[in-house]
Amino acid sequence: MTPAAGEALAAAEVIVGYQTYLDLIPEFLAGKEVIASQMMKEVDRCRKALDLAAEGKKVALVSGGDPGIYAMAGLVFEMAREQNASVDIEVIAGIAALNACAARLGAPLMHDFAAISLSDLLTPWEKIERRLEAAAAADFVVVIYNPKSKKRAEHIVKAREILLAHRDPETPVGIVTAATRENERIVLTTLAKMLESEIDMQTTIIVGNSMTFAWQGFMVTPRGYAAKYAL
């Protein structure tokens, strides 16, 4: 958490968030009105936060990772627009899963990359496939969000097939689950073998581009210095 996020929490009168995240920041909750909710109630959480803000309260809506990357910031704006709400909104950047997972793996995001969510809850699967195909063909490093849930075990299988049509089976793949948390798991594998590792809802997967290499347990996408300078 950045100092800016801490300052926003300290300045807030009401803190709204998913219970699991609020449990991580007890020191910021003392003396505040706290509204906790369960998973999958994000629409309710946003509505509550906007209602309270419209009443004139300073509200902090807590998001895991970076609220601006596949997270809560967008829903707040979508809903505020629908309601024609008259509230001041500020988004405070955080460490997204892609930042945290990249750091734990080494340096896979040194070159152009595409972030793609495999969740078809709000996006047609055909569009997701088209993006996988485009990213694979143009040699982007690919960051896969939401690779699997109980209801969607086959999406990551299909995604791997699309990538394999354009990349060497030995392409490094990093599989990071619950980055920086107590139950963190990090696996450095290959496109050929990636499905042998455990993948779940807390997992983010980074697939290297044609230049990415594995070195001493790290995954590195070179920027191209070695080709230009004597290192």
Report, in Å, the least distance between residue 196 CB and a copy of itself. Answer: 25
Residue placing its CB nearer to a copy of itself in the complex, 58 or 223: 223
Residue 140 as a binder of a copy of itself (CB under 8 A): the answer is yes
Taking residues 88 to 127 in sequence order and writing x for each that binds a copy of itself by CB under 8 A, - otherwise, the string is -x-xxxxxx--xx-xxx-xxxxxxxxxxxx---xxx---x
**Bridge partners, residue 205, by sequence:** 144, 175
Q: Which of residues 178-217 bind a copy of itself (CB under 8 A)?
A: 213, 215
Residue placing its CB nearer to a copy of itself in the complex, 151 or 196: 151
User: Which residue, among 150, 155, 111, 153, has the nearest Cα to 131 in the 3D structure?
Assistant: 155
Residue the block writes with tokens 């707040």:
76
Taking residues 52 to 81 in sequence order and writing x for each that binds a copy of itself by CB under 8 A, - otherwise, the string is --------------xxxxxx-xxxxxxxxx
Report, in Å, the least distance between residue 220 CB and a copy of itself. Answer: 4
The structure tokens listed for 205 are: 């997967």
The structure tokens listed for 182 are: 């107590």
Residue placing its CB nearer to a copy of itself in the complex, 21 or 225: 225
Torsion angle (degrees, nearest 10) of CA 119, 125, 144, 187? 80
Residue from 133, 152, 190, 201 binding a copy of itself (CB under 8 A):
133
Residue 15 as a binder of a copy of itself (CB under 8 A): the answer is no
# of chain residues touching a copy of itself (CB under 8 A): 74
Q: What is the DSSP string of 141-203?
A: EEEEES--BTTBSSHHHHHHHHHHTTS-TT-EEEEEESTTSTT-EEEEEETTTGGGS---TTE
Using DSSP's 3-state secondary structure scheme, residue 4 falls into helix
Residue 43 as a binder of a copy of itself (CB under 8 A): the answer is yes
Report, in Å, the least distance between residue 127 CB and a copy of itself. Answer: 7
